[in-house]
Amino acid sequence: MAEVLVFHHGHGLTAGVREFADRLRRAGHTVHAPDLYEGKVFDTLDEGIGYAGSAGFDTITARGVAAAEKLPAGLVYLGFSLGVMSAQMLAQTRPGAKGALLIEACVPVSEFGGAWPGGVPVQVHGMDADPFFAGEGDVDAARALVEASGDAELFLYPGDRHLFNDSTLPSWDRRAAEQVHARVLGFLDRVA
């Protein structure tokens, strides 16, 4: 089975992110879900992003890197939205990555030194009308990643919700979230 490092979104390490991680554990995977917000969980995305901004986005990403340093190299990195920054950076720069799962965000690979590493499969998931994912360039970065990588997939789901995978948020979309979960499990079984 795979060993997965899960990075939470801008609300913090919510019960919904923990539930997602627990579902992966119940499927037999080893899952780590560090709290990059040091115990803080925010009711609104604006509050959470405000906290990340005041703490410093580099600080939040550095907390993700520190969490990874305590673990073996052969990880799959999974990030939700804001957590994609840590997941994608580690998948691109830390030797030994088994794969990356970028959910509701993707940044240009040039942010972390250029090309996507060979032999590191990646999946990107997002809604086709999400104002953040589709409206701020993430979907374009995802398409470029798929085009440049030998083992990358982009999955677009109909809808305009951001953070549709967190069952504790009003933006949750059960049907799309179940599709993501099934595809993530298939990915983990393939790379394990």
At 145-158, the pLDDT tens digits run 999 898 999 999 99
Mean pLDDT by 10 residues, the chain (192 residues): 98 98 98 97 97 96 96 97 97 97 97 91 98 97 94 97 97 98 98 94
CA 92 to CA 54: how far, in whole Å? 26
Which pLDDT tens digit goes with each residue over 169-184?
Answer: 999 999 999 999 999 9
CA 138 to CA 122: how far, in whole Å? 15
Q: What is the pLDDT of residue 113?
A: 84
Looking up tokens 């720069």, which residue turns up? 93
Q: How many domains does the chain have?
A: 1
Neighbours of 39 (CB within 10 A): 7
CATH of residue 155's domain is 3.40.50.1820
Q: What is the pTM of this model?
A: 0.97
**Beta strand pairing call for 3-7 and 152-157:** unpaired
Q: What is the pLDDT of residue 146?
A: 95
Looking up tokens 């609104």, which residue turns up? 44
Residues with Cβ < 8 Å from 168, sequence gap 6 or more? Answer: 14, 15, 16, 19
Domain range for 101 is 3-191
Q: What is the pLDDT of residue 175?
A: 98
Q: What is the pLDDT of residue 114?
A: 79
